[in-house]
Amino acid sequence: MVHRLVVSYGQPDDPAAFDAHYRDTHAPLATRMPGLVRYTVGAPQALDPAQPTPYLVAELDFDSEQAMGAAFASEEGRAAAGDVATFATGGATMTHYEVTEVPVSR
């Protein structure tokens, strides 16, 4: 099973500064977390333009909830978590869950 952390970043005060810091500092910190098996990011777009959307969403996958906990307890995980406050001026919401695959019928 995969355990997923989803980080939704709100609209930053300075999008260019956010992008540069995320790309050059934060992502390299996060990729060093032990036990990280997959890391993806994307800029979501609402299907309904009246709905607010995050500026950026990151998904970090681990083998288990315990592996995620160990990653954030590590020196690398503490560094990545501590870095969020330095650039996420629009806030960051973090949620996590056990991924369950739903069969697709064709």
pLDDT at residue 45 in the model? 94
State the pLDDT confidence band at 97, using cuts at 50, 70 and 90.
very high
pLDDT at residue 25 in the model? 97
Q: How far lies 96's CA from each of 46, 51, 64, 73, in Å?
A: 21, 22, 11, 16
Q: Distance (Å, rounded) from C-alpha 4 to C-alpha 1?
A: 10
Whether the model pTM is above 0.75: yes
Asked if residue 57 lies in contact with residue 79, where contact means CB atoms within 8 angstroms, the answer is: no
For the chain, the maximum distance between any two Cα atoms, rounded to a whole number of angstroms, is 46
State the pLDDT confidence band at 1, using cuts at 50, 70 and 90.
confident
Asked if residue 9 lies in contact with residue 92, where contact means CB atoms within 8 angstroms, the answer is: yes
pLDDT at residue 77 tops 90:
yes
pLDDT at residue 57 in the model? 98
> Rounded mean pLDDT of 55-70?
98
Q: What is the CATH number of domain 3-46+53-98?
A: 3.30.70.100
